[in-house]
Structures are given as C-alpha cells and as structure tokens.
Amino acid sequence: MRITVSASPEELGREASCHVADKLRMTLKDKGEARLLLSTGASQFFTLASLLDQGIEWERVEIFHLDEYIGLPQEHPASFRKYLNDRFVGKIRCRKFHGIDTERPAAELIPYLTREVRKGIIDVGLIGIGENGHIAFNDPPADFDTRDAFKIVELDMRCRQQQVREGWFKSMDDVPSRAVSMTVWQIMQCSIIISAVPFKVKAEAVARTLSNPLTNLVPATMLKQHSDFNLFLDRDSASGLISF
C-alpha cells in the first residue's frame, strides 16, 4: 500500500491522475491497449479533470464504470452515465465505453456487463471510498464472498444521505434505494487500484479504512489486501490519521 498526502484536492487530483496516466502508458506500450475502471462522485472531479490533460491515446483505452442507480434515466443529473459522459467520456474518443444502462432489464444487463468485463483484466481501477466506507455501491455489510462481477445492491441510509448532501438529489425520498454495482471481488481483480479520496467529510472513512483489520463493515478495508493499492489523500481527508 502506498499513501500520498497532498496539500489540496486540486493537487491530489493532479497526483492521482499522473499515476493513472503513467500506468496506462506503460500498459499501452506493453499490450497495445488498456482497460480502465472509473469511479464517479464529487470526490473524483479533480482527478478526472486532470486526467483529461495527460495526453493519453484514448482511442486504445476501453472504459468501464462501477455502478449506477436503478430506476434513474440517463438524463437525470445524478445519473453516473451522464456524469461520465459530461465530464470525461464525452470529451475523449475512447476505444469503447461500457455504460451501466439500468434502463435495460437486470436479467440482460448483468450478464452483458459480466461478459464484457471478463474479456480481459482491468489494468487500472480508479476506486473511490464513500463516507460510509463503501467501494462502488457495496455498502456495509458488504458481500465479500460472491464471485459475481456485478449484482443488484440495496443502498444504506448513510450512502443515500451522502448523495443528498453532495447535491445530486433534493431529498432522501428522491434517492433510489437500489443500484447495480460491481462487486468487491471483481474490483479486486484490477491490476492496480488507485483511490482518490479528498475532503474533510471522508476523514472518518479513511481513518476507519486504515485503522481496522479486514471487515465487511468497512468495505474499503478490502483494498488493503490488494498487492498494488495506491491511496491519494489531501490534508483534510488525512486529518483523522495520527501520523499525519
């Protein structure tokens, strides 16, 4: 595990995006193509914006994302497909973008996503950590046992509150209660995991992730089991760590 603490969210975004870009360039040089897994949410704004400036040959990169609400059209401001199209995918020409289209029946969508993601290794996974310690929408207590690639999950109260606090929804009643999410096991199959986690509101989750042993009550503790886990913090998100 490698931890980098930056002075600001903007600096964190630059540092994390440079690391992502370096790994993508190495993969493109070695294999001729690469596969990238993206997180969404307010915590990823600076990293994704900086990644656009890295000069990657995106036409050789296949992109996946982690999760999507069930019952939310792509046009909704909180849709993660809209988020990625507006902020990232729509600004580049990638080889292919696999959107989690939850307007399709789950019985069709999940097998399709599973087939696509398992055609090869995900070379770089950009994995955020939620305020409740979740990774993707695997809220506590997360399922550490399934070997499915994607599954339907129930969103817990704190996860839904975070979506309202960040301004994606007007009220708790507006937040969908279910989503399709990549599983913890599938996330851990990434060749490298890079987590960009800025802001004071993430300090508790970061501290719990680093101070606890492996537990599905803090799903992000699983990331520490990965052989190439890189955690990027700013001073605020690192403020709950004694050593910082």
Residue pLDDT, tens place only, 182-197: 999 999 999 999 999 9
Exposure b/e, 71-106, CB count within 10 A at least 16 = b: ebeeebebbbbbbbeebbbeeeebeebebbebeeee
pTM greater than the 0.85 cutoff: yes
Determine the CATH number of domain 2-234. 3.40.50.1360
Exposure b/e, 165-174, CB count within 10 A at least 16 = b: eeebbeeeee
d(CA 215, CA 217): 5
pLDDT at 19: 98
Per the prediction, the chain carries an average pLDDT of 96
Determine the average pLDDT of the residues in 135-156.
Answer: 97
Domain ranges for the chain: 2-234
% of the chain beyond a pLDDT of 90: 95
Rg (CA), the chain: 17
Determine the average pLDDT of the residues in 140-166.
Answer: 94
Residue type, 23: K
Counting every residue, how long is the chain? 244
Question: Is the pLDDT assigned to residue 87 strictly greater than 60?
Answer: yes
How distant is the alpha carbon of residue 80 from its chain centre? Answer: 11
pLDDT at 141: 97
- Name the band, by pLDDT with cuts 50, 70 and 90, for residue 165: confident
